[in-house]
């Protein structure tokens, strides 16, 4: 199918054992949309991410159906959802319906579904909309490991910061002679842009630092700037360090504003750090939110002190 001069990608092979199914829900926040993945080589495959709510998933379901038609011998034995945001979890009900409708004549077993369950508002929204999902989603625990066809280990890593229920999935070949790459399906802690939205910065940084100790060579991004394979699977350690440096640099920028015993307000800091950029609207709000996240972390780390009840900050070694 041709549209706008570009060939539509229903799905694409990124590796022998990694297929990408575009979520088709592009936006300022989801970039080219949610990248959903089907991994494995044999008859049993695992899906990672389930796409968006029905308002934004019709093209994704067409893609998924096309994949299932072309790979009719394949069954999806598990589905991992990295976190409860609607663009990852909102399409699960439709994905399950698609699988059921296609295979109801044969001996169909519904996939096992895994996600950390913590009752957050995003997760609740999906369960309220689809009550039948409630009993189907199994709680994921840190370091839970699953075998896929005796070829791959899939290890679940608790990676909070972007969301409280966030997990990443580390896929490693069991026989290292077969494949050299260990892939981290990062979920929204790392995107195709220089940073991601963060809910709580201290736990987010702990997540990034902890990933330095995990054995992965590449990261499969859930949101990329485009659908080129090299935009979706990127050098893992380089990308991780870029994300750490980005946040550490922001901390240093803020701390550099504090000279002597000056008290500084958030507005002062905004003007120094972001003022020259002339941000407006949503971008301005995002910058303010970012600044607040960093200030809260610097106070928690005892690098800054916040004046009780006021929007004023001092260096922690300030003498009153």
Nearest residue (CB) to Zn ion, 49 versus 188: 188
Which runs of consecutive H residues, i.e. helices, occur in the chain? 58-70, 86-89, 92-103, 121-129, 201-211, 229-232, 236-256, 266-273, 281-300
Contact in structure between 72 and 58 (CB atoms under 8 Å): no
Nearest residue (CB) to Zn ion, 99 versus 140: 140
Q: Which two tokens stand for residue 159?
A: 């990676």
Report the nearest approach of Zn ion to the CB of residue 166 (Å).
Answer: 8
Report the nearest approach of Zn ion to the CB of residue 188 (Å).
Answer: 4
β-pair type (218-220, 137-139): unpaired
Nearest residue (CB) to Zn ion, 21 versus 254: 21
Report the nearest approach of Zn ion to the CB of residue 197 (Å).
Answer: 7
d(CA 177, CA 174): 9
Q: Is 140 exposed, middle or buried (0-12, 13-18, 19+ CB in 10 A)?
A: buried
Nearest residue (CB) to Zn ion, 36 versus 68: 36
Q: Which two tokens stand for residue 222?
A: 């859930």
Report the nearest approach of Zn ion to the CB of residue 78 (Å).
Answer: 21
Task: Point out which residues bind Zn ion (CB under 5 A).
Answer: 85, 188
Nearest residue (CB) to Zn ion, 85 versus 294: 85
Report the nearest approach of Zn ion to the CB of residue 55 (Å).
Answer: 17
Q: Which two tokens stand for residue 246?
A: 């980005």
């Amino acid at each position: 199918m041709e549209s706008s001069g570009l060939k539509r990608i229903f799905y694409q092979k990124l590796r022998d054992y990694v297929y990408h199914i575009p979520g088709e829900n592009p936006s300022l926040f989801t970039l080219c949309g949610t990248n959903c993945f089907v991994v494995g080589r044999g008859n049993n495959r695992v899906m990672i991410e389930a796409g968006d709510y029905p308002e934004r998933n019709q093209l994704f379901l067409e893609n998924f159906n096309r994949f299932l038609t072309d790979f009719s011998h394949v069954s999806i034995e598990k589905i991992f959802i990295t976190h409860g945001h609607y663009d990852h979890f909102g399409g699960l009900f439709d994905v399950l319906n698609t699988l059921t409708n296609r295979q109801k004549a044969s001996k169909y077993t519904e996939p096992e579904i895994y996600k950390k369950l913590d009752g957050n508002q995003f997760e609740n929204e999906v369960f309220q909309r689809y009550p039948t999902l409630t009993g189907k989603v199994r709680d994921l625990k840190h370091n839970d490991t699953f075998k896929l066809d005796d070829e791959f280990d899939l290890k679940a890593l608790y990676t909070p910061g972007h969301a409280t229920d966030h997990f990443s999935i580390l896929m490693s070949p069991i026989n290292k002679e077969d494949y050299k790459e260990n892939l981290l399906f990062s979920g929204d802690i790392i995107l195709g842009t220089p940073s991601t939205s963060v809910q709580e910065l201290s736990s987010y940084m702990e997540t990034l630092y902890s990933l330095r100790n995990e054995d992965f060579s590449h990261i499969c991004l859930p949101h990329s700037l485009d659908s080129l394979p090299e935009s979706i699977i990127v050098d893992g350690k380089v990308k991780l360090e870029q994300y750490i440096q980005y946040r550490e640099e922001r901390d240093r920028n803020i701390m550099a504003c504090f000279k002597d015993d000056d008290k500084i307000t958030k507005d002062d800091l905004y003007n120094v750090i972001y003022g020259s950029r002339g941000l407006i609207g949503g971008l301005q709000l995002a910058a303010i939110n970012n600044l607040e996240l960093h200030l809260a972390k610097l106070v928690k780390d005892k690098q800054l002190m916040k004046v009780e009840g006021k929007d004023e900050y001092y260096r922690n070694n300030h003498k009153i």
